[in-house]
Amino acid sequence: MKIYFFGIEDWEKLHIERKLKEAGIEGDIKFTKEPLSIDNVDLYKDADIISVFIYSKVTKEVIDRMENLRLIVTRSAGYDHIDVSYAKEKGIYVAYIPGYGNNTVAEYTFALILALSRKFKPMIDRTARGVFSREGLMGIDLLGKTIGIIGTGRIGCYVARLAHGFGMKILAYDRTKKKEIIEKYGVEYVGLEELLMRSDIVTIHLPYTKSTHYLINRFNIKLMKLNAMLINTSRGAVVEIDAVVEALKEGRLAGGVALDTFEAEEVLIEEEFLRRDDIPAIKLKKAMEAYYVLHEDNVIVSPHLAYYTKDASERILDIAVDEIKHFLTEGKPVNIAQ
């Protein structure tokens, strides 16, 4: 059995090797720091099982090159980087990792909200330069503010839990209403437009699909309050970056914008992209727009860190190994992408 792990850091390799041994999984096991792509797939085309992260692009062409492939395990909750439909056609299971970082991402979301509400970015910059003036650093309380949560899955529900603890009014938008958070935290489900109009803070917790592409766009972003705050710790293309840049230039979203993920983020995050001359012009444009907003005092951009704690990372690796074990012993993984 040939099992290849892509996008693996040194400490992750050690952790996975220990978990594989505990699970009794043996075979030809390889680890690489690079993501899987059409450019390197021929080096790994004999794999039976692969585990990838979001920067690997498991396209139809990649799948066709891997004739022995039987299982793809993505170490993420989202799986839009994999051609799941084609994998199904080929009889290949795709497993994903739900629930590994409900509290992790929710905590980071509130870290961003607090950082914007108390103007941490300009404050830290000033004090680092020896400037201790309070001018322009007046913040806001979260108590009594209205937070709009777009997407009330595991993470969104945990955000509601934290917001309730801060004494906030909570609006939510989702196709499915969660009775538990309505009863526990007083969540009010409303339509998307109403949520945008009424919320002081809008935070997004949705997977990326065709239906969520540019869910926040240059048209509906204009519905938001002038001093509203926008947080995205979900997937980049759920928010149209052009719309955010336009809003900031016009003085809207004055409460601040925090993007842990944004369109074409790999151009800025992954060093290998910076050395390539074949980056599509549109992707480079999106990356440069994100780079523009990076310099604003009321904007925080982070390199896809919301999930990135040691605790959550270890849970991801443990679940990935469990999925492989379940496939080998039961014939299919537990969490199958649809």
Decide: 226 and 199 in contact? Cβ < 8 Å: no
| Percent of the chain residues past pLDDT 70, beyond the cut | 91
Split at pLDDT 50, 70, 90, the class of 304 is confident
Q: Where are the domains of the chain?
A: 2-100+310-330, 102-301
Is 276's pLDDT higher than 80? no
**Is 3:47 a contact under the CB 8 Å cutoff?**
yes
Q: Which helix (H) or strand (E) holds 43?
A: none
Q: Rounded distance, CA 290 to CA 282, Å?
A: 13
Is residue 126 annotated as part of the catalytic site, yes or no? no
pLDDT on residue 275: 44
**CATH class of the domain at 102-301:** alpha beta
105 Cβ neighbours under 8 A, 6+ residues apart: 155, 158, 205, 233, 306, 307
Q: pLDDT per residue over 309-326, tens digit each?
A: 999 999 999 999 999 999
Contact between 231 and 204 under an 8 Å Cβ cutoff? The reply is yes
Determine the Cα–Cα distance for residues 231 and 251; give it in Å rounded to an integer: 17
Q: Are 70 and 48 in contact (CB under 8 A)?
A: yes
Q: Which pLDDT does position 99 carry in this prediction?
A: 83
Ranges of H-type helices in 6-150: 10-23, 60-65, 84-89, 102-117, 120-128
User: Do the beta carbons of residue 100 and residue 307 sit within 8 Å?
Assistant: yes
Q: Is 276 in the active site?
A: no
Of the residues 198, 235, 263, 323, only one is catalytic, namely 235
Closest CA to 44 of 30, 54, 60, 33: 30
Residue 272 has pLDDT above 70, yes or no: no
The predicted-structure confidence for 177-222, as pLDDT tens digits, reads as follows: 999 999 999 999 999 999 999 999 999 999 888 999 999 999 999 9
Catalytic residue among 265, 266, 289, 323: 265
287 pLDDT exceeds 60? no
% of the chain exceeding 90 in pLDDT: 82
CATH H-level, domain 2-100+310-330: superfamily: NAD(P)-binding Rossmann-like Domain (3.40.50.720)
State the Cα–Cα distance between residues 57 and 283, nearest whole angstrom.
15
Distances (CA, A) of 99 to 17, 153, 158, 163, 279: 23, 9, 11, 19, 33
- How does pLDDT run across 148-181, given as a tens digit for each residue? 999 999 999 999 999 999 999 999 999 999 999 9
Is 214 in a helix, a strand, or coil?
coil
Buried/exposed code over 88-110 (b: 16+ C-beta within 10 A; e: otherwise): eeeebbbbbbeebbbbbbbbbbb
Domains 2-100+310-330 and 102-301 agree in fold: yes
What is d(CA 333, CA 327) in angstroms, rounded to the nearest whole number? Answer: 5
Q: At what angle do helices 10-23 and 310-330 cross, to 10 degrees?
A: 40
Per the CB < 8 A criterion, the answer to whether 228 and 117 are in contact is no
Residue 338 has what pLDDT? 85
Q: What angle do CA 313, 316, 321 make, to 5 degrees?
A: 130
The pTM assigned to this predicted structure is: 0.84
